[in-house]
Amino acid sequence: MTLDISAIRQQFSSLNDASYVYLDSAATTQKPQCVIDRLSHYYQHQNANVHRGSHHLTAEATQAFEQARSLVASFIGAASEQEIIWTRGATESLNLIAQSWGRANLAADDEILVSETEHHANIVPWQLVAEQTGAKVVKIPMTAQGEFGWEAYTELLNTRTKLVAVAHMTNVTGARLPLEAIIPLAHQTGALVVVDGAQGIVHEPVNMVEMDADFYVFSGHKLYAPTGIGVLYGKKQLLDAMPPWQGGGKMVEKVSFEQTTFTGLPGKFEAGTPNIAGAITLAEAIRWYQSVTVEDRERHLHQLQQLAYQGLSQYEDVRVIGYQPNASILSFVVEGVHHQDVATLLDQQGIIVRAGHHCAHPCMDAFGIQGTVRLSFGMYNTIEDVKKFITALDKSLSFF
């Protein structure tokens, strides 16, 4: 394997000499030093608002801010930089679509198909807009293995379907949804497709022109960037037709008490002072991320997952939920033991994992459980991390 994990790990000051093993990257990743340094550089040397003023600091900040937009457009294969809208994260992006496109286009008896495997952020906004418009949210049941229910989808899709909301990859099991089949079938009935890429963008190259999703959203903090910055991609013709969601400065051309006119894309959806530092450091995180090949990165993550799976498989009372080979996530339960108790004992031994429903209540309900313990790996994790986890789990299980 050509990936130098030791060299990668040295770039993460939060993990150097740390007394813990971090196995919660699906929730948020740790940040490489170059990202931290770029954040500091902006506030130390470029701190100014963008698209306002005539001094050199605002010119430098605006240039870096828009260069970041251009890099993101290239990173996801968008046809135009105008299709990239800055948001606080995937959650805000989904709410923007629901409140702008949804309120303008949905009506009574229209249907929104939502996969049962979705994160709450890709369920609740559609429920809210359905209440506002009279539309109906329809569940696409998952399979017993926790994968996308293709047969159910084909049966539910009909002329009343206006929108299909699915994840690129799920945050509970790491299952990848068959977007190549889901999207064109939805388009055949005239429905649009929203893809929550919060998990998928970290593990798979995307090209919006080829994928043909109508909307695609993701958060920077899962992609080794800071919190509070996210991206909404939308096809230009759709964004052009959508009304603004929030009003304020920067998103207007002219304001009077008689009439307000709005600026074009992407500014129409970026009211107020944006997260300038977040956008700039997201670009830095993407540059860092692209310094490692997809093949090397995913091979490493899959190896860690396989080692962890082998370790879990030796315990009769441990059940892996919806196991997906070649993923970066493992969710499991210990029979007769609450998931939070397992995570607490692991934490006391310096092993950081996620325990709970993972903001996916419907998925948990379908599995017939209240929650799981979830391991999720980042590029900085090592084989030694997995060994420490298994040792700590063995000690925890002996306690129970």
User: Is position 359 annotated as part of the catalytic site?
Assistant: yes
Choose, from 27, 36, 320, 359, the residue flagged as catalytic. 359
Rounded Cα gap, residues 119 and 102, in angstroms = 19
| Residue 24 near residue 331, CB atoms below 8 Å | no
- By CB atoms closer than 10 A (0-12, 13-18, 19+), residue 85 is buried
Eight-class DSSP state of 244? P
| Residue 292 near residue 5, CB atoms below 8 Å | no
Q: How far apart are the first and last CA of the chain?
A: 39
356 residue type, one letter? G
Distance of CA 41 to the CA centre of its chain: 26
Side-chain-side CA neighbours of 256 within 13 Å: the count stands at 3
Look at residues 224, 205, 229, 147 and name the one whose alpha carbon lies nearest to residue 181.
Answer: 147
**Cβ partners under 8 Å of residue 191, min gap 6:** 113, 157, 161, 162, 163, 164
Phi, psi torsion values for 131, nearest 5 degrees: -60, -35
Catalytic residues, by residue number, are 359
